[in-house]
Structure 1
């Protein structure tokens, strides 16, 4: 149990150093789709620490036209058609063989190819691909499945379908599964969506599957604390929410030839007491202000010698702060964790309101609190139901 970190193209050295020193609270790492060949040392450090190592095939990005798809390892010259794959067993076999072939040597599990779930056909296609992957790999390594599912579809198909799907994955011999809901995450989620997500996770855990809530910050942490998931995953200062439609829209947008295409996205800076990953500008305003910086700063790991440590090395800070808070949750008995989450979220709401009012300039995005309040309400609801 714990937190799983999904590496970006340039995160491997920070992750290698972190795992070589400490790893309490960390459950696994996921190597980058395109840069995995450069991340062998980070993978080796994870294996030595007894953690799981995954790789992200990113097949779900290859079902539509887009730019830069030729750089993805599973690209074969044209998008994959869901209907064609569902009807053609040889096409499914070829996709599985290519996926297995492209996996880096140091992974501990093989991740099956998967596509965005909007209906029953895609959901059952993913089950077939997962089982075929398990059979292709044999007993060499376990197979891991990933489901990226539309939250609207999850609500429309209902808990009965979720239970049936969970049974199908269990029947296919899959024991390790990551579920990503799209869209989910950020600071503006309501109780109904969170309750639907937790209900779907429960259906899978009832079949003794090891379930990760994928790419989800505060909701993922609460899901683990409340026993709805065994782990949650994030990037390093990013990938704390999922929006498949936005991701695909970016892929379909032709790159601007007048702009440099290198570099990629820059991760934010995680401030644990706020329960928020903020921009560098917002972090500077808070950590440079003597009224508030000790309330939102960090004094552990590489930040122990400076209250402004998160600004000095945002990657190392993100790793040690996220993993240490998860380790602290897991050290407590299960029956205490709900109260711990309520206390954490209540403090974060109070601090967010304070920094919004007094310490963030007008040109910086204010921190919303709807998701945190929804989580508190849901936890209290579950506590009342259990009493």
Structure 2
């Protein structure tokens, strides 16, 4: 039966051909090397030509080789699952037995539950190995659980329901029915053995021997039941240990993630502290610079006061030597002419000192004299210096003699 004769097989073949074309059409030898020779070039040739549907292992290896490094690992795994679902549909359409199918242990509820579990695995494109890895169990232990599904524990049923995205209650009910059917079968088998008359050995015919044989069978049956119960108990404890190990692994991973987050936050905090330290140093440097400017301004102020005092003293001495009637007029004119020739900054300082000492009219005359004898740029500079020094001097009603 050729591969193209069924729609399912044709869909699988089309998907594989598209994957090969998307990779640039690699040769069969290259694909075989990518599968680590799981699929030989001859098998791949028969697969892509549509003359053979190989085993599940070959198809999975081929799909993984064609999808390797094409996207994120999660997307690659999802694409491989889609290919495997198409493969199982094609295999079923050809009337073959599905790869990985396990025969039921016993007919009845337990066998139906087992078939249902394997159907769920196949419908998700998984294998028992992949499922055991996702559930953090060993493959041999999970295979034993699937061969005897009546031994499934509530914890394992919860994990399977979450993995397959199905309701938990129907699955757990099926497990309970399988367990009841198994107990009923064991009880029926034990009752038949107990009711079966013991065969007398040749040459024996006493009633005591028959009674002894019946007691031995009862003891053997009781011992078998005890061993079966003890085995179930040990399996349940082992399952609890596996679940505890899985929870511990999850907690360890969560703790590792939290520790990594804490380390990143600590590193960020250290960087913020370093930035704050730099800002503090810059602020301290700015504070020292401002203090230095304040000290310079104070020193300039002191020198201006000394200069103004010296000029006023010289003014008074000059007025006394002239002996004029008012004693101030001629020296003031000389002072104004001398001060008006100074730089704009010195003039502004003298004006400020005179204003503070109550000589606003004198300061105004000084400004007028300086403006009348300066150029336009000097007048502009003087105006800026006066604005920096304070309000412009205004004439007062007092005479110059009052301040001398």
Tell me the TM-score normalized by structure 1: 0.21
Rg comparison, structure with higher value: 2
Q: What TM-score does the superposition give when structure 2 sets the normalisation length? A: 0.20
Q: Which has the higher contact order (CA 8 A, sep 6+)?
A: 1
Answer 1 or 2: which has greater helix percent.
2
